[in-house]
């Protein structure tokens, strides 16, 4: 077993309190996408995206999670749809993703209680059912690397106050 931790894919965006990197690229929408950008290449991608892609290809992984703020929910693929419509978008391993998401959310009191959006089901949601995006890392990991990745939205605020971090730690431990 190996555990890899990437503290931040977007350190300059974090320092600037925005989702875009210093070159105004939204890294959460910069990966190849099976619906509208189906060529798995680093060409034309932000340097951070290219590094994550190269790192991912160099390691055999079967399970991963990426952490975000802005909601409290375990989000699973697909994040996009062929038409871009926000509707449930079932991937081939949908039941496995639901199980992974449910396992995490059921152990996180705030997430389990989260039904802030109609697409949330006691702290879990299909990404595209919440809102459709293209170029997300979890879909890229699944499509091109066969890696089951979920996105864990662990705080309502994008930039939670330092004094709230112990609560987030306890909920997500």
Annotated catalytic residue, options 2, 48, 149, 153: 153
Helix 137-145 and helix 47-57: axis angle, to 10°? Answer: 30
Residue 147 contacts residue 101 (beta carbons within 8 Å): no
CA torsion 72-20-43-66 (nearest 10°) is: -20
Distance CA 124, CA 106 (A): 9
What would the two tokens of residue 77 be? Answer: 């693929």
149 has catalytic annotation: no
Distance CA 41, CA 32 (A): 7
Distance CA 60, CA 62 (A): 7
Could you count the other beta carbons within 10 Å of the beta carbon of residue 3? 4
Q: Which residues are catalytic?
A: 153
């Amino acid at each position: 077993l190996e555990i890899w931790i990437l503290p931040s894919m977007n350190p300059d965006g974090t320092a600037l309190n925005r989702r875009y990197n210093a070159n105004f690229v939204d890294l959460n929408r910069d990966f190849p996408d099976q619906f509208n950008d189906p060529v798995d290449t680093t060409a034309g991608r932000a340097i951070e995206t290219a590094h994550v892609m190269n790192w991912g290809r160099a390691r055999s992984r079967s399970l991963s999670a990426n952490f975000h703020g802005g909601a409290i929910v375990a989000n699973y693929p697909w994040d996009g749809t062929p038409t871009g419509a926000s509707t449930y978008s079932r991937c081939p391993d949908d039941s496995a993703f639901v199980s992974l998401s449910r396992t995490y959310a059921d152990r996180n009191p705030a997430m389990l209680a989260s039904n802030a959006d109609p697409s949330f089901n006691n702290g879990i949601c299909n990404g595209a059912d919440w809102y459709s995006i293209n170029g997300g890392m979890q879909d890229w990991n699944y499509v091109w690397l066969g890696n089951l990745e979920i996105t864990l939205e662990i705080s309502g605020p994008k930039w939670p106050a330092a004094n709230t971090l112990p609560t987030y730690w306890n909920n997500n431990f």
